[in-house]
Amino acid sequence: MKKYLLLISALIFASCSVSNRTMGQKSQDMEKFRTDTIDGVYIPADLDDCFIQIDGFWNDSTKTVVKSWSEDEFIANTHFGIGMWMRNNWRLWGGSRLSKYFNELGIFHPDDMSSIILTGYHRYLNGEEIKLQQQIDYHKAYWLVMQEPQRKNYPKGVFRIKFDTKIRYHLKENNMPGCVHIQSNSRTDKTWIYDYHFGWKRLTEEELDELEDADPDKREEILLKLFNTRNSEPETRNSQLTTQN
């Protein structure tokens, strides 16, 4: 009987120890989203604070060079430099008060966070409008259009579609991202494509070649033509499609 009591006591002690460690870990995890410093590195509180910190990193001559670059050049030149430094040291991957700030704005990928910081800083340095909400909308739209369609949303009669190829473009009206998902397992002379903005369509080889070979800034125009052609095959009314997808 005494042995059983000792065993039960040992199990209770072990359980309490694990529970205490778990609570301690959770407390540490919560603290990183509140503290202003992690491992000796100051963590900005918001976008404006990021600008202040970057201002302190660079001298006037560096800022002059940065201002001379176009926005696209600046993003390309800094993504793997200071951009990577921010993602690692400001804990955009591991979690910090700055990543929490972006999460609350609806931004969750560290690459998107650093892109907003860098884009905003370039505009700030050149006295331009930051357009934060526009940037947020762009990154949200990117993940939306890049997502492959779910099976429940396939056209009627279509059950098996494999997508291995994507081609990207931008809408001319608002520069929002677009992406065409191209079927890779077609058993016929036509291929299904899916686009978040346009929907579903079966293309001939000639139509697909035209779309794939076009410059990105011409793809929206081609998609409009393909989806608005009166004599084209209705993309969601083809009842003949069963297994020959």
* Amino acid of residue 138: Y
Please, what is the average pLDDT of the chain?
87
pLDDT at 152: 92
pLDDT at 217: 95
pLDDT at 148: 94
In the DSSP assignment, the letter for residue 152 is: G
- Tell me whether strands 199-204 and 163-170 are parallel, antiparallel or unpaired: unpaired
pLDDT at 161: 92
Residue 29 has pLDDT above 90, yes or no: no
Closest CA to 96 of 63, 53, 58: 53
3-state secondary structure at position 131: coil
User: What does R_g of the chain's alpha carbons equal in angstroms?
Assistant: 26
Please answer whether residues 167 and 220 qualify as being in contact, where contact means their C-beta atoms are separated by less than 8 angstroms: no
In percent, the amount of the chain with pLDDT more than 70 equals 82
**For residues 128-144, average pLDDT:** 97
Tokens of residue 136, six digits: 């947020």
Place of tokens 């095959």: 233
pLDDT at 229: 65
pLDDT at 12: 52
Tokens of residue 18, six digits: 């694990």
Residue 172 has pLDDT above 70, yes or no: yes
pLDDT band for position 238 (cuts 50, 70, 90): very low
Residue 108 has pLDDT above 70, yes or no: yes
Widest CA span in the chain:
88
Q: What is the full DSSP assignment across 77-129? A: HHTTTHHHHHHHHTTTTT--HHHHHHHHTT---HHHHHHHHHHHHHHHHTT--
Question: How many CB atoms are closer than 10 A to CB 47?
Answer: 20
**For residues 101-114, average pLDDT:** 98
| Sign of the Cα pseudo-torsion (52, 54, 57, 60, in order) | negative
pLDDT at 231: 45
pLDDT at 239: 30
Residue 8 has pLDDT above 80, yes or no: no
In percent, the amount of the chain with pLDDT more than 90 equals 78
pLDDT at 222: 97
Question: How far is it, in rounded angstroms, from Cα 144 to Cα 155?
Answer: 19
Q: What is the pLDDT of residues 179-231, one digit of tens each?
A: 999 999 999 999 999 999 999 999 999 999 999 999 999 999 999 999 986 44
